[in-house]
Amino acid sequence: MNQQLAKFYYLFLVFLVSIECFGQINPTNPVRNIQNAGSALKLKGKALQVNIFISAKEGPAWTRKAKDMVLKVIPESDAWLKRELKKYQHTMKISHKTFGYDQDIRLKSDADPDAGNVKWPTEILKRMGYASPMDFYRQLKKDIDFDQMYIVFFINTEGQSYSNPCDIHHEKDQEAFVESVAVFKKYEGKAITDKSERYVIPHEILHLFGALDLYDGEHQTHKTEKFAIRKLRNSIMLGSVRFQNQNQKQWELPKYEIDEFNAYMMGLHNNYQKWYDQLSKKFAKFYE
């Protein structure tokens, strides 16, 4: 069966499931299934988080002190995620492997999303001595027992952090399969280690497992952002948007939650609600 035919059958199956389960087509379930791909597949089992410290081209190297500060906040991210999974009767063991601690991996190209350079993670892994992202994945798999694996690139420059998730259309692409996030040292002058910014790491990681942003952008409109703020005020996927233009201190990580809509999108529960469609419909159009 060729790839196009396989894709057709898969989407047709999603169509039938939507009708059978809910009596009508909805945009939520196709997006939920399409996002279920890549090296970070499900929030369960044994997860390996690979941390890689990289320096931006022409930028300064990380100091050992700055790296230590980043590594000290990672356990807080792990603990928060485990706490939230427990609410849905899920568990996941998270282990870590770190590269670039003694010496940064230097990036020669540009990791800024506006640069349109999607190949920079492959460049980094090749500079580390691996032929491809899949070669890196397979080498890790030989030495470490894991069910899920993802990379967190810590970049020593200022920028807006983002994720590189995989979907079923690209699962056989060896570069796309290995999922990663880019976490910049600072954003708008605030360090990633600041207590009000520590939500960024788990926020980006959850994208790899299928979570959607709830603020106006790629996944939402201004109208659905307002709906999310009313309905899911504590969601980590709203990020800092609820604090913009307000004289209000931004929350620290423990106050955030995995909201019920994104819990559904990530497979933490299967209790579909019709109002979920308001939050999935914009992104669903991307796949039409």
Each domain of the chain, given as residue ranges in start order, spans: 28-286
> Cα 41–46–47 angle (5° rounding)?
60
| pTM metric for this prediction | 0.89
User: What local confidence, expressed as pLDDT, does residue 118 receive?
Assistant: 81
CATH top-level class for 28-286?
alpha beta
The rounded distance, in Å, linking the Cα atoms of 118 and 81 is 28
* Per-residue confidence (pLDDT) for residue 21, from 0 to 100: 43
In this prediction, residue 16 carries a pLDDT of: 47
Contact 132, 122 (CB under 8 A): yes
Across the 288 residues of the chain, what is the mean pLDDT of every consecutive 10-residue run? 51 47 71 92 98 92 97 98 98 98 92 77 96 97 98 96 90 86 94 96 98 96 96 94 69 96 98 97 86
Please report the pLDDT score of residue 5 as a whole number. 52
Crossing angle of the two packed helices 276-286 and 222-231, in degrees rounded to 10: 150
